Amino acid sequence: MADIIVAGAAGRMGNRIVACLRDTPDLRLCAALEAPAHGALGRDAGELAGVGRLGVALADDPAAAITRDRVLVEFSVPEASLEHLRLVARAGARAVIGTTGFSAAQRAEIGELARRAAILLSPNMSVAVNVAFTLLATMARALGDDYDVEITEIHHRFKKDAPSGTALRMAEVVAEALGRDLGQVAVYGRQGLPGERAPREIGVLSLRSGDVVGEHTVSFGALGERLELTHRAHSRDTFARGALRAARWIAGRAPGLYSMQDVLGLA
């Protein structure tokens, strides 16, 4: 039995993680966290998630909740996740982080914290998306430089970062497979008269609309044909279930920085 802490438990993803914990008897919700002054503090996490009373009230003291061998599961904002990870490293806990939008400096600090704690960091917890990362590398290597690469992603209107962490990871996977420096070849949208497309460009376009959970398409186009790989998420539960699968996997791991590729044996 692994004890799970859900941070951001009143949010869209936090609610679904709490709800999905109901179907995982080997994982137990032991704490639910929210920001100070949040309107839901003190309320039962299960009732907020629509699954009935669980006897775990939302609290705002992460230092009290994050204790040795517990597993933090969090989808929130970079600053909050990083502060929690510092507590994870200090306490000897473990963490599964689905937060996106970390800066290079923040990612470097997470790497340092992972020397003292087992941390799993992934821009997308979906099992299918992580299989797609592996397929994209194979596709890019096989198709080579004759094919233009364009990535489009669409999410709900409330998403704060763009491009999505998943789209960025897809671009990184393709760039690595093709031997390109993404920082030099990425083009984030186009406007005006940019001229003909450069052969080594990797285009990334973000759309925000309504309540779309998440859709990503990677297009490889040549003169005469186009090959596309698309993933569509129909429910946030796919990310919640993936995160709980990751929590189960990391519960017994030594310190280190892991990803969903490790969980699935694809690394």
Residue 159 annotated as catalytic: yes
Q: CATH assignment of 2-121+236-263?
A: 3.40.50.720
Given pLDDT bands bounded at 50, 70 and 90, which one contains residue 234? very high
| pLDDT at 1 > cutoff 90 | no
* Residue-range domain boundaries for the chain: 2-121+236-263, 127-233
59 three-class SS: strand
The model's pTM: 0.87
Residue 160 annotated as catalytic: no
> In angstroms, what is the C-alpha Rg of the chain?
19
Given pLDDT bands bounded at 50, 70 and 90, which one contains residue 140? very high
Active-site residue (options: 38, 84, 155, 216):
155
Q: With CA atoms as reference, report the closest residue to 166 among 118, 114, 131.
A: 131
Residue 195 has a pLDDT of 93
Q: What's the pLDDT tens digit per position in 88-136?
A: 999 999 999 999 889 999 999 999 999 999 999 998 999 999 999 999 9
Residue 267 has a pLDDT of 77
Distances (CA, A) of 67 to 1, 64, 162, 227: 15, 7, 33, 48
Q: What's the pLDDT tens digit per position in 149-189?
A: 999 999 999 998 999 999 999 999 999 999 999 999 999 99
Tell me whether strands 118-121 and 94-97 are parallel, antiparallel or unpaired.
parallel
**CATH top-level class of 127-233:** alpha beta
Active-site residue (options: 159, 160, 216, 231):
159
